[in-house]
A and B are shown apart, each in its own frame.
Chain A
Amino acid sequence: MADFTPVSAAIGGALIGFSAVLLLLSTGRIAGVSGIFSGLLNLRSEDKGWRIAFIAGLILAPVIADLIGYGMSPPKLPSSWAVIVVAGLLVGFGSRLGGGCTSGHGICGIGRLSPRSVAATVIFMVTAIITVAITRHVLGG
């Protein structure tokens, strides 16, 4: 547990929860990032303004942080392009089929005490843990 960072995790988590509450109180929308993003991909949907604004804010956050001296380092990703592409496809397809992702089900859905979201969160945690166990400890990634 060398890298456990409970204080920054608690502050960051509280901000994520606050953002979800503020979005619901102001626009009446759920802060599920997969749902917000996929609505932009549908050419026929008309409610694109708030979606673009939310995602713009999400991308601007590290830019502003960089300006005040807290630059974000680029994420460390697997060296295999195939793994990145397959993972992206699974995350995109799975989040649509399952009706949400870590934010929509894990924060907003559970926050609304939805049994569907509790189930989805338990399931994706379990398959993610199994995936990491296999890639790191069985295949020795």
Chain B
Amino acid sequence: MWIIAPLLCGLIFGAGLLISGMVQPTKVLAFLDIFGAWDPSLAVVMVAALAVSVPGFMLAGRRERPWLAGQYFLPGKSEIDLPLITGAGLFGIGWGLVGLCPGPALESLATLSLGVVVFVVAMAAGMITHDAWQQARLTAQRERLLVSATDG
């Protein structure tokens, strides 16, 4: 029955995107369009979300482990490196072009819009491309290390 928890979280997350209007690209683009008829709603969404998540995460941090799992799965990196900067930069360009990011894009699949399906397939292709490229880079790196080890 533990599967109920992530399902419920997805439902609440989706309800939040629906109620705030952030599932609509027009609403997101109106926030990003600071030189046009600017709509600051997205900023209010972020502030309200953080007003709940900051104390909530602090509370979670005080607990040894989550209710339904043996451990927390938290990102370990802390330094601001080139992949982070490049990746966030590219993400922003794609987000600004259409006004969809992964959450609203997946949620919009419910409308059976062909444009959304195409966007989600392209997004998946972008993710797979990245992961395959990383994998190839790691393999090449390992081979170089092996070669230099036998050379020495």
Q: How many A-B residue pairs have CB under 8 A?
A: 490
CA distance A111 to B47 in the complex (A): 10
Contact check, B96 vs A129: say whether CB atoms are below 8 A apart: yes
Contact check, B89 vs A133: say whether CB atoms are below 8 A apart: no
**A residues within 8 A CB of B60?**
21, 24-25
DSSP class of A's interface residues: helix, strand, loop or mixed? helix
Contact check, B88 vs A123: say whether CB atoms are below 8 A apart: yes
Contact with B along A94-106 (1 / 0, CB 8 A): 1111111111011
Q: B50: CB under 8 A from chain A?
A: yes
**B residues within 8 A CB of A89?**
94, 122-123, 125-126, 129
CB distance from A52 to the nearest CB of B (A): 8
CA distance A38 to B105 in the complex (A): 14
**A residues within 8 A CB of B65?**
28
Supposing A33-B102, A38-B127 touch, asked if A124 and B91 sit within 8 A by C-beta, the answer is yes
**B residues within 8 A CB of A85?**
118-119, 122
**A residues within 8 A CB of B34?**
129, 133
Counting chain A CB atoms within 10 Å of each CB, the highest count among B6, B40, B63, B84 belongs to: B6
Chain A contributes a number of interface residues (CB within 8 A of B) equal to 111
Supposing A28-B69, A72-B18, A77-B113 touch, asked if A90 and B10 sit within 8 A by C-beta, the answer is no
**B residues within 8 A CB of A64?**
11
Closest to A93 in B: B126
**A residues within 8 A CB of B23?**
62, 72, 75
CB distance from A9 to the nearest CB of B (A): 4
**B residues within 8 A CB of A132?**
29, 32-33, 96
Closest to B96 in A: A131
In residues 1-22 of chain A, which contact B (Cβ within 8 Å)? 1-6, 8-22
CA distance A78 to B16 in the complex (A): 24
Supposing A17-B56, A88-B119, A111-B57 touch, asked if A76 and B25 sit within 8 A by C-beta, the answer is yes
Supposing A28-B66, A94-B89, A96-B126 touch, asked if A124 and B119 sit within 8 A by C-beta, the answer is no
Partner of B37, one of A2, A11, A70, A107: A2
Contact check, A26 vs B126: say whether CB atoms are below 8 A apart: no
CB distance from A77 to the nearest CB of B (A): 4
Closest to B23 in A: A72
Contact check, B83 vs A98: say whether CB atoms are below 8 A apart: yes
CA distance A50 to B102 in the complex (A): 17
Chain B positions near chain A (C-beta within 8 angstroms)? 2-27, 29-30, 32-42, 44-54, 56-57, 59-60, 63, 65-69, 71-75, 77-80, 83-113, 115-116, 118-131
Which 6 interchain pairs have the tightest Cβ spacing?
A: A57-B10, A12-B20, A92-B126, A98-B87, A61-B14, A88-B122
